[in-house]
Amino acid sequence: MRPKRLTPPVRRTARRWRTPPAITTGAENFEGMAVLDEIGGPLGFLLWQAARDVVLWAGFTPEERVGLFEPGADALLHGLIRSAGVEVQLESPLMTIVRMVGGPDTARAETVELACQHIAHWADGHGYTAAAIAYAQAAALTVPYDAGAAYAVGRVARRRAEYARAETWFRRAIALARQSGDWTSYALAFSGLGNLYMQRGNYPSARRFHVRALRAARRHSLRAIQGSALHDLFVIAAAGNHKEDAERYARGAFESYGPEHPRLPALANDIAYFWVERGHFAPALTVFEALLPHMTRHEDRLVALANIVRAAAGAGERRQFEQTWDEVWDGLARDDGTENAAQVLLELAHGAAQLGEFERAERAAERAVKTARDRGQARTLLGAESVLDSVRRGRGARGRAAAEAPRPEAPQETEMFATDLVRSLNASLVTR
C-alpha cells in the first residue's frame, strides 16, 4: 500500500490593505481661508501660517526637508506668536512648530503631531471648529499611519457638517487601524460613520455601521465602546419604533456603561424620552427627576425641566406640572436664545395639551413654531406645527375628555428598569 502523499500547503501572499485617500480641503476659496474667516486678526494669521508650515513639512521625506524653509522663517513665526499675544496653553505647541521650521530635517514627526493635537483641542474648546479641523488634519498628515489621528479629523469634520470629508477620514481610519491592529480606533471609526449617517437621516446605513462597531468592541473587549454602540443602536431602534430591539439595546448599554460612566445621564435621558413617547409617563418622570442634579448648564437644565413638565402632565401630576411649567417659562423669558429653545417649548406644548390646558399649549406651540423656523430646525418645526394643529382642533369637550382620560400603566420591567437607572444616577452623584 502506497503511503499517502501529502500536498504541500499553498503559499499565500500577505493581503495588502489599500489605505483610501481622504479629502483635505473644504469649500473655501484657498486652503485655510476658513481659519482666517473664523478667528481673524494676528491670532488667526498666526494659526493659519503655522498650520500651512506643518502641512508643507509633512509632505516631504526627512531627507528632502533639508533647507525646506527660508533662513529666518522660524524667527518670523516666533515674532507672530509674540505679536498675537497667544494664551499660555498655545505657547508650547506653537514653539514646537517654530523649532520644526528652524530645523526641518531634525524635527520628530510624533512631536509635531502632538503639538498639532494640542492646538486642535484648544481650538475645539473655544468653538473654533475650522482651526480645529485644520490642526487635526495637520496632525494626521504628519504621522500618516496613525489611525487615531485620522479618526479625530473625521469627528471634527462631521460636527462641522462636512460629511464628505468626514466619511473619507473615517474610512481611512478604519483601513489604518486594521493594518496596525489599533482596534480602539477601528471600532470608533465605524461608530463615527454610524453617527454621520444618523445625522444624514440614513438609519439603515447608520445601523449597519454601529453593528460593526459593536462587533469589533465585543471581539476586542472594548467595554466603553460597546456601551456607546449599544446606546446608538437603541436610538436608531427607538426612532424606527422597534420596541423590543430598543429595550434590548437600552438594557445592554446600561449594563456596559456602569454607574460611573460619563454618558450614563445621556443614556438615561434617551430611555426616559422613549418611555414618554410610548405613554409610560410615571417611570419616565422618576428618571427625569434623578437627571436634574446632573444638569449644570443652563441650557441642559431647561431641557430637563421641560421633559419633567411633559412627563408630569402625562402622569397626572398637576401640581408638579404647574410648578415646573412656571420655572421653565420664566427661564425662557430671561434667555430664549438657547440652542434648544424650540424643543423646550415643544415639550411644554405637549405637556399642556395632555392636561387639557389648550390655551397654554397653543401659546407654547406658536412660540416653538416661530423659534424653530427662525433657527432652521426643520424636525422640531414639523413637530411643533403638528402639535399646534392638534391643539386647535381639540379644544372642544371631546378633546378635553381625551386629555383627562386615565393613562395606561407601564409594564413591570419598565418600572424595574427605571428604578435601576435612578439608583445608578444617584450613586454617580455620590462618587463625584
Three-class DSSP labels, 141-179 = HHCCCCHHHHHHHHHHHHHCCCHHHHHHHHHHHHHHHHH
**What gap in Å lies between CA 66 and CA 103, rounded to an integer?**
8
Pair 138, 114: CB distance under 8 Å: no
Q: How far apart are CA 245 and CA 264, in angstroms?
A: 19
* pLDDT value of residue 297: 85
144 φ, ψ (degrees, to nearest 5)? -70, -10
**CB-based contact 198:232 (threshold 8 Å):** yes
Q: What separation in angstroms does the CA of 137 have from each of 33, 37, 57, 412?
A: 15, 18, 13, 50
Residue 199 has pLDDT above 70, yes or no: yes
Instruction: Specify the pLDDT at position 405.
Output: 54
Cβ atoms of residues 418 and 377 within 8 Å: no
* Separation CA 174–CA 184 (nearest Å): 10
DSSP 62: G
* Per-residue pLDDT tens digits for 46-75: 999 999 999 999 999 999 999 999 999 999
Cβ atoms of residues 267 and 260 within 8 Å: no
pLDDT band at 11 (very low <50, low <70, confident <90, very high): very low
Class (C level, CATH) for 281-409: mainly alpha
For range 406-431, the mean pLDDT: 85
Residue 407 gets which letter from DSSP?
Answer: P
Q: What is the pLDDT of residue 422?
A: 95
| Tens digits of residue pLDDT in 26-35 | 666 567 788 9
Alpha helices in 220-297 (DSSP H): 223-239, 243-257, 264-277, 281-291
Kindly tell me if the per-residue pLDDT of 108 is higher than 70.
Answer: yes
- % pLDDT > 70, the chain: 90
Whole-prediction pTM value? 0.81
Mean pLDDT computed over 318-337 = 86
What pLDDT shows up at residue 4? 40
Q: What is the mean pLDDT of the chain?
A: 89
Total Cβ atoms within 10 A of residue 374:
11
What's the pLDDT tens digit per position in 147-169?
Answer: 999 999 999 999 888 899 999 99
- What is the predicted pLDDT for the residue at 279? 92
Over range 398-402, report the average pLDDT: 51
Q: Residue 12's pLDDT is what?
A: 43
Query: CATH 1.25.40 region(s) of the chain?
Result: 281-409
Nearest partner of 356 among 305, 383, 395, judged by Cα: 395
Quote the pLDDT of residue 17: 56
